Structure formats: C-alpha cells, structure tokens
Chains A and B, each alone.
Chain A
Amino acid sequence: MAEPVARGLAVRLRQAGPIPLDVELAAAPGAITALFGPSGAGKSTVLRSIAGLYTPAETFVRCNGEVWADTAAGRVLPPHRRSVGLVFQDYALFPHLDVRGQLLAAMSHVPRRARERRVAELLALVHLEEYAERLPAALSGGQQQRVAIARALARDPAVLLLDEPFASVDRALRDALQHELAVLHRALGVPVVLVTHDFEDVARLAAEVVVLEAGRVTAKGSVAELTAAGSLPFGLAGKREPAVALDAEVAAQHPERQLTTVAAGALALLVPAIAAPLGARVRLTISSREVILATERPRGLSLHNIVAARVAEIRDAAQPELRVVRLAVEGTPLLALVTADAVRNLGLAPGREVLALIKAVAVEAFA
C-alpha cells in the first residue's frame, strides 16, 4: 500500500470491466516513474485516467494536494480543468496549426501579454526556434515529438504524462530524445509518468517503476531494487536476460586512458570515457549475461573491472540449465547469469565471497 505523497501524484483505479483495472501508484515530483508492462496491459488507460480522458468505475487522482477525481465523493474534473501535460504516442498535433499555434493553443491560462515570451522559451527548450511557422506535416517525426512535448509543457502542468514516447522513432533519435528528457525532467520538478513496454527506457530514465500486467500492478518500487530482485519480466532490449539498472555518478575521469570511473555506491567501475563533469549522475545498465564469476583473481585479461562481491542468492533462470546469481557489492546489487554446471563447479552458495568480472564495454552508461 503506497503512502500518499503530499506533493506529487497519487492514483487509485479500480474497475471490473470493460477494461479490468486494479492499480494503485504514486509518483514523486522531479522523478520519472515508469509504467511498464506488455502491450495491452492497460498502461495507456491508466495514463488517460490520470488526464481525465477516461474515468474507471472507482477513481481517485490527486496531484499536488488537489483532488482531480474522486468517484466516491462524486467529484470528477474534466481534462481541461486539470493541469496535466499529456504527450500522445502519435503526438496528436493539431493538423491545421503551425508550431507556434500548437503551443498557444495550450496557453489559455497564460495572460495574453506573456504568451509570446513563453512560446519563445518553450521553443528554445526543445530546440525548435527556427520551426515556429511550420505545420506538422512539414516536420519530421522527432520534431513532431518535440512539439508535442513543448505543447504539454506549455500547459505548465502539475504532472507530465508520456505515452510510449520512443516507440516509433529510430535508435539514434531515441538516444537523443532520451537524453533531452533526462535533462528536462530534472529541470521541471513535477512528477513524470512514462508509459513504455521497452525495458531500456526504464533502465535509462526511470527512478521508480510500476509493473502492470492485465490491468493489475504486479510489482512496484525503485528500479535498482526491482531489477536486482528480478521482478521485472523483461530483459534488456528484448533479450530476455535479467539486468541491473543502477544510479551512479562520475567519480573520476582518465582522459589519457580514455576511461571514466563511475561509482554506484560501493561499486566502482571503469567504463569507456563519458563526456560528463565530475559528480554528474549516470544510469548504469549491466546485463547478467556480461558478468563472469571467479573464485580466484585471474591475470593477463583485457578486463578492467574485477570486483569483490558476496553471493546473496541463487535463483533459477528462464532456461532450466542456467542460474541467476544475485551478488551484493556491499549495498549495491549485481546479477550474473551462469550455467548450473558452473554453480556446482565453483561451489557457489549464498554467503560465498567471489569476484565479479565485468568488461568495461559491457557497462551501458546513460548520462
């Protein structure tokens, strides 16, 4: 049972049909909460319910202390009375308005004199200053998405909702957009709810994650905890192995070696150089497939990371001949995918001290 957050978003939705729902979630301001699950799990429905486009039989939505919907009390605000910014999966830009017009359309709450200045600010924020006069048909997919985001922000929303924002963009664009979103959300200071069925989005961006399957919440908590506990059903980039997602920071730069040291709690790793200042926050994703275990320190390897860890738990993997070994580097979790045979050979058991070997290139760092 989640405690209501005084600032931030609190949601409770329940109904038997036509779309079965049993969801309780909270999103803290200044953090991205991912709503994660397979297609058809009801994630978009939850988002629409927060926005007010849909009202399940039992609905409670409170944002920043203001109750937007409470079916028990018979009080449900329509969408245009909620200070919500929603970025649709297909952007849903107004076909007849240019970029400036899209933003102005969402600014009914802004005094007329201030509108132009606000439009300029938003355009600068999403790097679309030169495109103010363009119609949506003359914009690329990525540009349309930025306009959609800017329009949502034009509302000065108390919560930002994004529906599969990276689903229809190519890899390169997605990386760029993810970086921008990471920067943006910290500046905004409002709860951000991101709907996605792709684990990479969760690993890179989300602080908290709520797992939704068939309308029910099957897991929720911090990304690091849930990845380590194996509660997220999907592996990295479609490959179904478990991985850990860790919050880290840039601890040191080694320009002469083209390497950077990142530290996630007690776990310090060398990774290929990251262009970020010291102390910058970084998200690390390490697939369990990339972690080798050793009982003695090897020599003469290209490996940069040999880390002392203790075996915390050994679980069955999806394949019967494999095992997932959960390690703890003091407080920081790590996962390794090994064969059952290897477990026997090395005599691995909870409590055993081992060495975890991780290639520098195997650590995915997202700044």
Chain B
Amino acid sequence: MRSIGALGRIVAACMLALLASPVLAQSARDGSAPAVAAASDLGFALEEIKDAYRREGHGDVRLTFGSSGNFARQIEQGAPFELFFSADEAYVERLVRAGLTRDEGVLYAVGRLALFAPHGSPVDPARGLDGLRPLLAAGELDRFAIANPEHAPYGRAAEQALRAAGLWVALEPRLLLGENVSQAAQFAASGNAAAGLVAYSLVLSPTLERRGRHALVPAEAHAPLRQRMVLTARASPAAERFYAFVQSPAARAIFARYGFVLPDG
C-alpha cells in the first residue's frame, strides 16, 4: 500500500518474522517430563538430585519451587503436578484427605532451621537467637527475614522459635516476610534484612555459605519439620521412577550433605 511509510513496512516484516518463529520452531511447550512441586528449602538439594537422576539416564523432571501451602492450594485447584515435596506433612495430609494423591506418601527428610546473617551485619549467629535481644534493645536491628508463616512451614517454625525465645512480640514489626523460605533467604543474603531464620539446607549451599555466617537453631525450639513427599493422582510412571530415586542411597546422601536429618530406611 503506497500509503504506509517505510517504517511501517520494516516493522511489518519484523512482526511477521516474530510471529512465524514460534510457529515454525517447535513449540516451547513440552509436557513430557513430569511436573514436580517442591518446597523452596529443597532449592539446591533437589537440583543436585535431579542432575544425578539425569546423569544416570533415568530421564528428566521439571521442578517448580515455592511454598508448600501454595502448592497444596494449587493442586487442589487442579494444577498438573505429579509429585509434591512438602516441607510439612500437614499439607500432604490435606491432599490425601481430598483424595488427590496416590497414597499417603513417605517422609523423606526432617528439616532444620538456621539463623543466617550476611557479612557486615551486626548480628552474630554464633550467639544464637538470644544474641538478637541486645541489638533490638539498642535499636540496631533493622529488619529480620522469615518465610510467611501463613503458608510456608519454615516460616511457621521460625515463628515458633521466636516465640519460644520470647522475641516474637519485639521482632514482629520488623519482619520481612518472604513468600517462601527461599525468598526469605534472599532478603537476608542481599542485606535487605540484617538477618533471618531460614532453612538450614539453603545456608549450607556454596552460594549462601560465602555470603554470610549461620548457626543451627536447636530442634526443640520448634515443632519438627517433617517433610513428606507424595505422588499425586495424576502421577505417571516417569514420576514414580523419580519418586523411587529420591529414596535411593545416592539421593539420601545428597540430602544429608544439605543438613537434612534422614528418616531410617
């Protein structure tokens, strides 16, 4: 059309090229490998397990990380996950009761809580939670990161630990709530929070190790983080294979390296 300028023609050509490319190329949508929902504290551990799984030629899985409570809700709404790694048994039980799972699942690890402070922070994790008190009194503690207790098990554990230490009331106004425990760790590691209560498995990773210091929180300070995994009603044979692999000695060794306490068996 004579009336459309040169610019219009160039852009029209680009548009057509763009439109054609996803169509000509194979569609990016790939539904073969099973979709796996995993609690964020497994961010590093499960990636390593997946790599081992692939190296041994068993196939692939698609991992999505987030808070356990969120995933439970999504699965209830029909999300196509075939395998669910929860950081809290209660969420698995909820799905079992709703008839959305293959069986009751299996306990794969017990998680631990850790106090983490980035380099340069006034917080010294070696002093434990009690070490926070003088800082709070002196007004030197700005923000403190935990996962959202509403739907993240590690957040709930953090709240329990803080209440047990008598720090919850003083600290609550200063809390930075992460949508899941990974985001909470991210807040702390980036220095946006002076410190945080996050998953032990995350702070043991090389990435976080070099960003700050940490210390384990005694297990008695909170209800145990019994982490349960379960195959959903949609699980395929491929999902079953991964489910089995996660219980193998090789996988358990990886869990152990990331500070998880392993159930017997």
Contact = CB atoms under 8 A, between A and B. Distances in A.
A96 interface: yes
Contacts of B3: 96-97
B225 to A, nearest CB: 69
B113 to A, nearest CB: 70
A251 B2 CA distance: 55
A96 B3 CA distance: 6
Nearest to B1: A96
B185 to A, nearest CB: 60
Contacts of A101: 2
A101 B3 CA distance: 11
Q: What secondary structure prevails in chain A residues at the interface with B?
A: loop
Contacts of A97: 3
Interface in B1-27: 2-3
How large, as a class, is the contact surface on chain A? under 10
A96 B2 CA distance: 9
A294 to B, nearest CB: 68
Contacts of B2: 101
Nearest to A101: B2
A233 B151 CA distance: 86
Interface string A81-109: 00000000000000011000100000000
B55 to A, nearest CB: 63
Nearest to B4: A96
A101 B2 CA distance: 10
Nearest to A135: B3
Interface in A322-357: none
A96 B1 CA distance: 10
A101 to B, nearest CB: 8
Nearest to A98: B2
A39 to B, nearest CB: 35
A97 B2 CA distance: 8
A269 B43 CA distance: 109
A247 B2 CA distance: 49
A97 B4 CA distance: 11
B71 to A, nearest CB: 56
A97 B3 CA distance: 7
Contacts of A96: 3
B82 to A, nearest CB: 57
A132 to B, nearest CB: 14
Interface string A129-152: 000000000000000000000000
B136 to A, nearest CB: 71
A119 to B, nearest CB: 16
Interface string B208-233: 00000000000000000000000000
Nearest to A96: B3
B7 to A, nearest CB: 15
A349 B3 CA distance: 70
Nearest to A94: B3
A354 to B, nearest CB: 67
B142 to A, nearest CB: 62
A255 B265 CA distance: 131
Nearest to A97: B3
Interface string B158-170: 0000000000000
B171 to A, nearest CB: 68
Nearest to B3: A96
A96 B5 CA distance: 11
Interface in A149-173: none
Nearest to A95: B3
Interface of A: 96-97, 101
* 3 cross-chain pairs, A with B, having the tightest CB-CB distances, nearest first: A96-B3, A97-B3, A101-B2
3 contacts: A96-B3, A97-B3, A101-B2
